[in-house]
Amino acid sequence: MSIQIEHLSYAYRLPSGEKVEALKEITCTIATGDFVGIMGPTGSGKTTLLQLIAGLRRPTGGRIRLNGKDINAHGYNRNLLRQMVGVVFQEPENQLFATTVEKDVAFGLKYSGLSRPEITARVQWALETMGFDFEKIRNQSPLALSGGEKRRVAIAGVLATKPQILLFDEPIAGLDPYSRQHFLHFVTKINQAGTTIIMVSHNMEALAEYTRHLLVLAQGRLIDSGPTREVFIRLKQKHSGAFGQTEAQKITTLLAKNKLVLPAAVVTYDDLLSALKQELAGGGPG
Ligand SMILES: Nc1ncnc2c1ncn2[C@@H]1O[C@H](COP(=O)(O)OP(=O)(O)OP(=O)(O)O)[C@@H](O)[C@H]1O
Ligand SMILES: [Mg+2]
């Protein structure tokens, strides 16, 4: 289920008739089973890109192909698209509405053609994948859960439909460190089971540690893309400011200013720790 994005553009039209160009000529390929991060300043077009991939908006220019087929072509099966691509929007917990967790997670399976026992099994699987004890949680009211738990229930609802591609818009924003860790752990598991993950995030550490490829947007343009580590290293070389840098990279810069020069390849905290250990053990430049 590869995703080919070709010269993709999107312009919003304001009520005044004025156009807002949110995406300009984006071209890239996302391979089946990849874990892709999307980073970029606010307003750079990240959410718009996810909406286009999910088929919720039609491009004003260019194409998106899933396995070679243009998803906006006449006659393309939109139901199939909906089955293949799952989207978890920002703060999905605000969309919980059913009286029990089980009903909420089962909602997306209503027209799936699955039998009742099959639906129950699927809901159980999705909730367990998100780290819940099914019997304990199934009859609880979603409203009685903590913020992090609500979000995991909301994600289970999308997961239950077994999409081959999962899109997340800032899924860890506003989560406490424990819930964040939890979420990234489960997403990694889902990815290892074969689901393609595309995750928009402002959290550089999460992008650096969990994604394999990165797309970098700025003002609607794709300004860089490639293997995550390489992109972080390039961004640091290209932009002297703090844009797109991990804390470990910022600390490395600070150390260099104070004459402790670590390898340029420091991206994550783990890199920083081992580089520091090596440097301190070896005496380093002084
Ligand atoms: N419904 C809309 N109508 C008009 N313009 C819009 C609409 N939604 C977004 N835009 C504009 O399109 C551009 C891209 O917006 P988008 O929401 O995709 O950015 P983003 O990268 O997701 O930002 P953020 O990090 O703040 O979520 C921005 O200039 C924004 O103002
Ligand atoms: Mg957004």
Closest residue by CA, ligand 1 atom 3 = 12
Q: How many angstroms separate the Cα of 52 from the Cα of each of 3, 49, 117?
A: 12, 5, 34
Element (H, E) at 280: helix 269-281
pLDDT digits (tens, 9 = 90+) for 165-190: 999 999 998 888 888 888 899 899 99
Nearest to 263 by CA among 252, 248, 251: 252
Q: 31-59+78-227 sits in which CATH class?
A: alpha beta
For residue 236 and ligand 1, the question of a CB distance below 6 A is answered with no
DSSP string of 174-227, one letter each residue: T--HHHHHHHHHHHHHHHHTT-EEEEE-S-HHHHHHH-SEEEEEETTEEEEEEE
Percent with pLDDT over 70 in the chain: 98
Task: Please list, residue by residue across 50-86, b when 16 or more beta carbons sit within 10 angstroms of its beta carbon and e when fewer do.
Answer: bbbbbbebebbebbbbbeebebbeeeeeeeebbebbb
- Residue 130 has what pLDDT? 87
Q: Residue 40 CA: which ligand 1 atom is closest?
A: 21
For residue 203 and ligand 1, the question of a CB distance below 6 A is answered with no
Closest residue by CA, ligand 1 atom 24 = 42
pLDDT digits (tens, 9 = 90+) for 125-148: 999 988 899 999 999 999 899 888
Q: For the chain, which ranges sit under pLDDT 50? A: 286
Q: Radius of gyration of the chain from Cα atoms?
A: 21
- Among all ligands shown, which has an atom nearest to the Cα of 216? 1
Q: pTM above 0.85? A: yes
